[in-house]
């Protein structure tokens, strides 16, 4: 089994760039909290919101997932390097143009270019992954993530048609945006993260229940489109839509339960030898995935569904639960394990702890305040001030991690375990006797 030399050094630079994007997105998020307290002359809140959301998703999550995919697909192809930097240029444009102009011809053009580059990424990664990961249980998850990229962007292309009508149908506009977000959050982000986790467990020869992982994949895949019914229910509160949504969230919950049961022995074996910080990242990352499935399942009740899309705090909390919790925290733990980002040393540890604390505190505040608003219990004392202080932990933590990524290669970290490269054209059965024992 051939190892990537020093975890392929260019990937560490890619991770650093993605972390810088996270810093910028988190600072914009903090600015949004600040605007609730004090006016900022010349700054439009909605423009900052669009820059924050687009930059976080397309600049941080997309690029760090792309990096993980390239390492598995075989990074020797120079086209992947060109593709990464071309995509990063669109991210810079997205940050600047959305912050200054909001939705405009130029910002939409930058986003469209990012979408087109993502199609190129799918076209390149799909055959490379199929060739190098043939026979692995991670492959279906990884391919489903790529397919979700294409599926989600259908919502963006629909926006052009919707906006060309005079006047535009704003209900259809909302549903098109929600289709994109749903495909990204519940498709690309979820399948991509789960696939990278399973691939890492396979290559570390940790005990996995492969039949259960296949069952989990089928359940999660079948749940993807029906769970979009929650967004549709906002515009059309029909019993049939609630029924389809209920079916989708039930399938998703069963899929997550099966996935957790399949990887639980591997998680226990892995985290038993880790420091408290890394155990915390794994616990809150995977725990966020489970909590997200529970939250979605509760939405099967019409009363809860109405509450979920009526109170904005719940919407923001749910999005952060996926992007910051299930995706970011899990990926940080993976980056350390793969030797791409050392979380040893005071700077890195402090950065990771700040990021983790910021996530936990902001989620608690968002969901608690949302529940209080729904129950007409007014506001938490000094809510916006406390939320701003908690939010500031996120850019502070991300900045320290980005600085740590720039200071030294992660390969010098004795706790890092470089990600092995799959041999081309050879099915892999990494589990061995451990997998057989897990299936008994």
List Cβ neighbours of 420 (8 Å cut-off, separation of 6 or more): 1, 2, 3, 4, 203
Rounded (5°) CA angle 197-294-186: 50
Q: What is the total count of domains within the chain?
A: 1
Using the 8-state DSSP alphabet, how is residue 41 labeled? T
Whether residue 361 is contained in a domain is answered as no
pLDDT value, residue 335: 92
What per-residue confidence (pLDDT) applies to 404? 84
Which range of residues forms the domain containing residue 83? Answer: 8-132
Per-residue model confidence as pLDDT tens digits over 164-182: 777 878 888 888 888 999 9
Q: Ranked by mean pLDDT, which of 273-282, 421-430, 431-440 comes out on top?
A: 273-282
- pTM of the shown model: 0.88
Residue 434: the pLDDT is 37
Q: Mapping DSSP to helix (H, G, I), strand (E, B) and coil, where does residue 420 land? A: strand
Grade residue 416 by pLDDT with cuts at 50, 70 and 90.
very low
How far is residue 182 from each of residues 159, 196, 225, 289, measured CA to CA in Å?
15, 20, 9, 15
How many Å apart are CA 19 and CA 71, to the nearest integer?
A: 18
For residue 111, being part of any structural domain is answered with yes
Q: What is the pLDDT of residues 16-54, one digit of tens each?
A: 999 999 999 999 999 999 998 998 888 899 999 999 999
pLDDT in tens, 111-157: 999 999 999 999 999 999 999 999 999 999 999 999 999 999 998 88
Of 152-156, 302-306, 343-347, least confident by mean pLDDT is 302-306
122: in domain? yes
Mean pLDDT, residues 78-91: 95
Report residue 191 as tokens. Answer: 């399948």
pLDDT for res 4: 41
C-beta of residue 22 within 8 angstroms of C-beta of residue 56:
yes
Burial of 1 (0-12, 13-18, 19+ CB in 10 A): exposed
Asked if residue 270 belongs to a domain, the reply is no
pLDDT for res 164: 76
| 158 domain-assigned | no
Model confidence band, residue 366 (pLDDT cutoffs 50, 70, 90): very high
- Domain CATH number, residue 44: 1.20.120
Residue 216: predicted pLDDT: 97
In this structure, which long-range contacts are made by residues 152-158, counting pairs with CB atoms below 8 Å and at least 24 apart in sequence? 152/179, 152/180, 152/181, 152/182, 152/183, 152/184, 152/187, 152/188, 153/115, 153/118, 153/119, 153/180, 153/183, 154/179, 154/180, 154/183, 155/179, 155/180, 155/181, 155/183, 156/111, 156/112, 156/115, 156/180
Give SS3 for 168: coil
pLDDT tens profile 195-225: 999 999 998 999 999 999 999 999 999 999 9
Query: Average pLDDT, whole number, for the chain?
Result: 86
Write down the pLDDT at residue 406.
Answer: 63
What are the residues facing 420 on neighbouring strands? Answer: 3
Measured distance CA(237)–CA(21) in Å, rounded: 38
**pLDDT for 246 beyond 90:** no
How does residue 235 score in pLDDT terms, banded at 50, 70 and 90? low
- The DSSP call for residue 8 is -
Given this model, what pLDDT does residue 75 score? 72
More confident residue, 241 or 190: 190
Q: Which of 192-201, 248-257, 275-284, 312-321 has the lowest mean pLDDT?
A: 312-321
Task: Note whether residue 202 is domain-resident.
Answer: no
b/e sequence 368-407, b meaning 16+ C-beta within 10 Å: ebbebbeeeeeeeeebbebbbbbbbbbbbbbbbbbbbbee
**Residue 165 phi/psi, 5° resolution?**
-80, 150
Instruction: pLDDT band for 239, please (50, 70, 90 cuts).
Output: confident
Residue 74 lies inside a defined structural domain of this protein = yes
If DSSP codes are grouped into helix, strand and coil, which group holds residue 374? helix
Buried b or exposed e, range 278-307, using 16+ CB within 10 angstroms:
bbbbbbbbbbbbebbbebbbebbeeeebeb
Does some domain include residue 106? yes
105 touches 122 (CB < 8 A): no
């Amino acid at each position: 089994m051939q190892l990537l030399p020093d975890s392929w050094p260019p990937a560490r630079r890619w991770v650093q760039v993605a972390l810088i994007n996270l810093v910028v997105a988190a600072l914009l998020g903090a600015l949004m909290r600040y605007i609730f307290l004090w006016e900022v002359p010349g700054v439009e809140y909605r423009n900052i919101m669009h820059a924050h959301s687009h930059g976080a998703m397309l600049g941080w999550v997309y690029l760090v997932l792309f990096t993980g995919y390239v390492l598995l697909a075989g990074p020797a192809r120079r086209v992947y390097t060109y593709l990464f930097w071309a995509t990063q240029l669109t991210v810079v444009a997205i940050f600047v143009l959305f912050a200054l102009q909001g939705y405009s011809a130029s910002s939409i053009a930058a986003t469209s270019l990012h979408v087109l580059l993502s199609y190129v990424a799918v076209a390149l990664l799909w055959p490379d992954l199929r060739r190098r990961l043939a026979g692995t249980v991670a492959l279906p998850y990884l391919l489903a993530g790529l397919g979700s990229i294409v599926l989600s962007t259908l919502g963006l292309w629909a926006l052009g048609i919707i906006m060309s009508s005079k006047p535009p149908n704003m209900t259809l506009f909302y549903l098109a945006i929600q289709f994109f977000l749903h495909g990204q959050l519940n498709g690309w982000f979820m399948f991509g993260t789960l696939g990278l986790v399973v691939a890492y467990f396979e290559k570390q020869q940790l005990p996995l229940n492969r039949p259960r992982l296949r069952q989990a994949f089928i359940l999660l895949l079948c749940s993807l489109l029906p769970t979009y019914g929650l967004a549709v229910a906002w515009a059309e509160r029909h019993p049939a839509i609630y029924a389809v949504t209920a079916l989708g969230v039930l399938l998703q919950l069963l899929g997550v339960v099966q996935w957790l049961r399949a990887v639980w022995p591997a998680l226990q074996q892995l985290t038993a030898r880790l420091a408290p910080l890394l155990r915390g990242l794994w616990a809150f990352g995977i725990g966020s995935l489970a909590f997200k499935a529970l939250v979605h399942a509760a939405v099967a009740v019409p009363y809860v569904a109405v509450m979920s899309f009526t109170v904005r705090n719940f919407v923001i909390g749910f999005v952060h639960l996926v992007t910051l919790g299930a995706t970011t925290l899990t990926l940080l733990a993976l980056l350390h394990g793969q030797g791409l980002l050392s979380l040893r040393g005071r700077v890195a540890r402090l950065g990771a702890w700040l990021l983790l604390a910021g996530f936990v505190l902001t989620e608690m505040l968002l969901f608690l305040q949302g529940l209080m608003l729904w129950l007409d219990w007014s506001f938490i004392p000094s809510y916006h001030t406390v939320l701003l202080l908690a939010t500031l932990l996120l850019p502070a933590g991300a900045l320290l991690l980005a600085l740590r990524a720039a200071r030294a290669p992660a390969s010098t970290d004795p706790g890092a375990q470089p990600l092995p490269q799959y041999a081309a054209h050879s099915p892999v059965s990494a589990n061995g006797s451990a997998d057989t024992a897990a299936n008994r």
